[in-house]
Amino acid sequence: MEWSFLGATLFNLGMNLLYTLVALFMGILVLKFIDKKILTNIDIEQELKSNNLAVAIFSSTVLLVVALIICFGLRG
C-alpha cells in the first residue's frame, strides 16, 4: 500500500470526523436556542430528566435535522 493513499485516507477520515463534531456541536446549540427563545414555557432539560418520551423524540429530531443541514452544506 502506498503512503500517499494511506495519507489521503487518513486525511479524509479526519475531515469527516471534524465535520461530524461541528454538526453535533451546532445541533446542540440550535436545540438550546429553541429551548430558551422559542419554547419559553417548556423546559426541555427538565422534561428529559423526567423521562418525557415526546420531548426526547423532538430533541433528537431537531439534532438530526440540523446535522443533516450542516453536513450537506459542508459538502458543497
Q: How many CA atoms lie within 13 A of 69 on its CB side?
A: 10
Q: What is the sign, positive or negative, of the torsion defined by CA atoms of 63, 59, 41, 45?
A: negative
Provide the pLDDT for residue 66: 76
The answer on pLDDT for 74 being more than 70 is no
pLDDT band at 1 (very low <50, low <70, confident <90, very high): low
For 19-59, the pLDDT digits (tens) are 778 877 887 888 788 778 887 787 888 888 999 999 899 88
Q: Is the pTM of this model over 0.75?
A: no
